[in-house]
């Protein structure tokens, strides 16, 4: 299993976000087409039959399959980088990271400007904790506010 430093994971975010957006958009497009086809099937069943444009249905199925394949291809690219897609609908990614000899997961979700959280392998998203000094250099990280003496 590939592991990442915080800086390495952060540097990959623009590419990963682009791949993830493509996967999400493709999945949504496929889901929309599938819903329309299911509605048509339901109408055909309830009415005992309908005249349908078979060529149009074939084109819609083909389009749906293309969208599904685009989503799979994008997810495969993310996987090949070594990043784990935990939830495509929310755009949740985990980056394996080694800290003090233990593998943990840096955690990022679509819409977050940078990687600010991590969790153990067993705790999952609900166990997210803020990134701390154990994760090393934090290039491009927001400075913490100075506390008054």
Q: Give the pLDDT confidence of 88-98 residue by residue, as tens digits.
A: 999 999 999 99
Q: How many structural domains are present in the chain?
A: 2
Q: ∠ CA(105), CA(108), CA(109), 5° rounding? A: 140
Q: 73 with 96, same domain?
A: no
Q: Is the pLDDT of residue 142 over 70?
A: no
Residue 144 within a domain: no
Q: 96 with 78, same domain?
A: no
Q: 15 with 51, same domain?
A: yes
Q: 14 with 78, same domain?
A: yes
Q: 75 with 106, same domain?
A: no
Say what the pLDDT of residue 134 is. 87
Say what the pLDDT of residue 139 is. 42
Q: Is the pLDDT of residue 137 over 70?
A: no
Q: 70 with 10, same domain?
A: yes
Q: Is the pLDDT of residue 4 over 60?
A: yes
Residue 139 within a domain: no
Rounded Cα distance between 105 and 83, Å, is 10
Q: Is the pLDDT of residue 20 over 80?
A: yes
Query: For 57-112, what is each residue's pLDDT tens digit?
Result: 999 999 999 999 999 999 999 999 999 999 999 999 999 999 988 999 999 999 99
- The H or E element that residue 92 is part of is strand 92-99
Question: In terms of pTM, does the model score above 0.85?
Answer: no
List the domain range (segments joined by +) for residue 113: 92-134
Residue 46's pLDDT band, with cuts at 50, 70 and 90, is confident
Pairing of strands 102-109, 117-120: antiparallel
């Amino acid at each position: 299993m590939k592991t990442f430093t915080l800086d390495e994971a952060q540097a990959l975010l623009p590419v990963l976000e682009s791949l993830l957006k493509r996967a999400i958009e493709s999945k949504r497009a496929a889901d929309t087409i599938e819903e329309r086809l299911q509605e048509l099937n339901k109408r055909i069943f309830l009415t005992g039959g309908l005249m349908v444009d078979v060529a149009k249905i074939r084109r819609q199925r083909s389009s749906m399959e293309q969208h599904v394949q685009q989503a799979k291809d994008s997810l495969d690219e993310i996987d090949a980088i070594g990043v784990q897609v935990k939830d495509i609908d929310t755009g949740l990614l985990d980056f394996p990271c080694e800290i003090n000899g233990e593998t943990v997961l840096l955690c990022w979700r679509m819409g977050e400007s940078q990687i600010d959280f991590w969790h153990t392998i067993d705790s999952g998203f609900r166990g997210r904790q803020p990134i701390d000094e154990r994760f090393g250099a934090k290039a491009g990280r927001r400075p913490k506010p100075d506390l008054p003496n």
